[in-house]
Amino acid sequence: MKMSKMYIRTLREAPAEAVLPSHIYMLRAGMIRKLVSGVYGYMPLGYRVLRKIENIVREEMDAEGGQEILMSALQPAELWEESGRWSAYGPEMWRVNDRNDREFCLGPTHEEIFTDIIRKEVSSHRQLPVILYQIQTKYRDEARPRFGLMRSREFIMKDAYSFDKDEAGLDESYKKMYDAYGRIFTRCGLDFRPVEADNGAIGGSGSHEFTALADNGESSIAYCEACNMAATDESAVCKDAEPSDEVMLPMEEVFTPGTKTIDAVAEYLGMDKKQTIKALLYETYDDDMKVNGYVAAFVRGDREVNELKLANVLGVAEYAIAFADESKMAEITGCVGGFTGPRGLKNCKVVVDSELTGLKNLCAGANKADHHIKNLNYERDYTADIAANIKMIKEGDPCPVCGAPVKMTRGIEVGQVFKLGTKYSKPMGAVYKDQNMKEHDIVMGCYGVGVSRTFAAVVEQHHDDDGIIWPPAVAPYHVIITVVKANDDVQMSLAEKMEAELAKQGIEVMLDDRDERPGVKFKDADLIGIPVRITVGKRAPEGIVEYKLRKESEKTELTADEAVKSAIEFIMQEINVR
Ligand code: ATP
Ligand code: MG
């Protein structure tokens, strides 16, 4: 297609709010445009990329026997009440009422809807297994929409749901989807890792996240080179330190002026941070997001709290717990900012990390300004409402599987697969009859790919200082033919001849015939990131052109025929990686 006729507007600079390269380049290359915070539209080039990703997803789902359907984004509250998630889902759910005040939501996910379809239409074991999927727009009123398509409030997800007779069937469906995900992200050109994950609000008994490795990613992964363990930091188990067999020393209150942090108190008292106890103060919320309780969580001084694990042991949703307003909490519980310890708090839940129960003679805040208590021992000096593993794994901690030191890396969660079991089928009555007419709950799995987030992740991994470098399989066009002088008939006719030859082989070509300086055209081609650039310039009368791959700096002069042949070979080879 001729660029002079295309609807493309590139920008020299992106708005200041764009900080990640992917967000900056997608805006600058004119791929997406923002409507309001967390809501974007796809412009022609961006929409082509999106459809290519969708088609890769579609092909791989179909290859595993998935069948595509399309359900509405609008979902009636009643179905969510049946599963118990109408109140459990929290403020991320986009709730709307119709003119008769009937409640709906704009679906953040579709477990209830697919379960409803199946329970109405499946009754016999002969109809199972089934895998249904859709590629559809989801809505989540994210607390902090950011990074463009990476965390938006409206986004495109592929969600698949499997329905099996039993756990063994679920294991098979899960493996099919897991394998398909590997092929999807490979074909999209991503460097990714499947990692063990928490089931979160979706529920169920087993889960993996597919994480595209990226320094800017919001997910943190713990992995072990000795045994191949890989898990999200939230789900990885951080092992307790060995219990100590030291003799318990007498408790002692000490004056520690101004030592509000662990670093400060450890330095002041000349102790290792591992001998101290760190306090983290939280408040919890009811369904109307009003504060309904306080929680003081304690971990060893050199550790951090894993808030997901904390929420899980408290039995509250992740959104229903956050750092407390300390002055209010102090009035009610007796905690003292910077000097809070587990001994002597009132009107709050005390949650102590399991490891602290085995360690001896630790130092914690005295719940009194400028004072700490030394030689504090669990049971003798303080107890907990809950003692459980609530600590976050970090670089160098022992691997929960083999004990070798773990490494940490960051990434973007592009997909997640879950074993749901009967979490939805049981409350919603999705059952089938076996050969003996005996009824069983259908066993389910669910599988999501963030299609629009994958778009952003590909750009995050494939760019340089000049712009995007598309892997050919998801590039908006494969080849750009840049005509140096568009009003030169010889140059234009050679370019058009090459375009026609490439198109015949299914290669998608952009022909830059704009009346711009060559420098502007090259800059745009680099920014947009088309994998192959063929420049037609002053040697056109001899049939010679310049051939360059976006990912390489080297340019070569070839005959037009050779350039066409090289482009076809390169694109075909790259697209067929499976
Ligand atoms: P996150 O932890 O990043 O909020 P999630 O675990 O809540 O995501 P899932 O329910 O697993 O998300 O949804 C399936 C996929 O949808 C995710 O793996 C991710 O790729 C994508 N996704 C989720 N939330 C968003 C969002 N706000 N914007 C874009 N993509 C998203
Ligand atoms: Mg997820």
User: For 492-538, what is each residue's pLDDT tens digit?
Assistant: 999 999 999 999 999 999 999 999 999 999 999 999 999 999 999 99
Q: Is 453 in the pocket of ligand 1 (CB under 6 A)?
A: yes
165 CA distance to ligand 2 centroid (A)? 25
List Cα–Cα distances, 27 to 10, 147, 463, in angstroms. 8, 11, 14
φ and ψ of 347, to 5 deg: 55, 35
Nearest CA, atom 2, ligand 1:
413
Q: Give mean pLDDT, residues 217-245.
A: 93
User: For 173-183, what is each residue's pLDDT tens digit?
Assistant: 999 999 999 99
pLDDT recorded at residue 578: 47
161 CA distance to ligand 1 centroid (A)? 16
φ and ψ of 373, to 5 deg: -115, 130
User: For 298-357, what is each residue's pLDDT tens digit?
Assistant: 999 999 999 999 999 999 998 999 999 999 999 999 999 999 999 999 999 999 999 999
pLDDT recorded at residue 88: 86
Q: For the chain, what percent of residues have pLDDT higher than 70?
A: 98
For residue 412, the ligand closest to its alpha carbon is: 1
Nearest CA, atom 13, ligand 1:
448
- Beta strands at 206-213 and 443-450: parallel, antiparallel or unpaired: unpaired
253 CA distance to ligand 1 centroid (A)? 48
Flag whether pLDDT at 539 surpasses 80: yes
How far is Cα 508 from Cα 499, in angstroms, rounded to an integer? 9
Spatial neighbors of 368 by CB under 8 A, at least 6 apart, are 253, 336, 339
Q: Which two tokens stand for residue 450?
A: 């963030």
Contact status, residue 25 vs residue 12, Cβ threshold 8 Å = no
410 CA distance to ligand 1 centroid (A)? 16
Q: Is 415 in the pocket of ligand 1 (CB under 6 A)?
A: yes
Q: Give mean pLDDT, residues 152-160.
A: 98
Flag whether pLDDT at 10 surpasses 80: yes
Cα radius of gyration (the chain) = 29
For residue 89, the ligand closest to its alpha carbon is: 1
pLDDT recorded at residue 202: 55
Q: According to DSSP H, which parts of 69-152 are helical?
A: 77-83, 85-88, 111-121
Q: Is 416 in the pocket of ligand 1 (CB under 6 A)?
A: yes
Looking at residue 384, its amino acid is A
Q: For the chain, what percent of residues have pLDDT higher than 90?
A: 95
User: For 444-500, what is each residue's pLDDT tens digit?
Assistant: 999 999 999 999 999 999 999 999 999 999 999 999 999 999 999 999 999 999 999
Q: Is 140 in the pocket of ligand 1 (CB under 6 A)?
A: yes
Query: How would DSSP label each residue in 86-107?
Result: HHHS-TTSEEEE-TT--EEEE-
Q: Is 152 in the pocket of ligand 1 (CB under 6 A)?
A: yes
Q: Is 155 in the pocket of ligand 1 (CB under 6 A)?
A: yes
Q: Is 81 in the pocket of ligand 1 (CB under 6 A)?
A: no
Work out which ligand 1 atom sits closest to the CA atom of 449: 15
Give the mutation target among 37, 106, 157, 447 for probing the ligand 1 site: most ligand atoms within 8 A of CB: 157
How far is Cα 90 from Cα 84, in angstroms, rounded to an integer? 12
Residue 353's SS3 state is strand
- Beta strands at 349-353 and 386-388: parallel, antiparallel or unpaired: parallel
Q: Is 365 in the pocket of ligand 1 (CB under 6 A)?
A: no
195 CA distance to ligand 2 centroid (A)? 11
Average per-residue pLDDT for the chain: 96
| Sequence-ordered strand ranges (E) for 442-551 | 443-450, 463-464, 467-468, 479-483, 509-512, 532-536, 544-549
Flag whether pLDDT at 114 surpasses 70: yes
Q: Give mean pLDDT, residues 227-235.
A: 91
Q: Give mean pLDDT, residues 25-42.
A: 97
Residue with tokens 């009811």: 286
Q: Give mean pLDDT, residues 197-213.
A: 80
In this prediction, residue 363 has a pLDDT band, given cuts at 50, 70 and 90, of very high
pLDDT recorded at residue 421: 95
List Cα–Cα distances, 507 to 6, 150, 362, in angstroms. 18, 29, 68
Spatial CA neighbour of 6 closest among 27, 23, 31, 41: 31
Element (H, E) at 370: none
Q: Is 158 in the pocket of ligand 1 (CB under 6 A)?
A: no
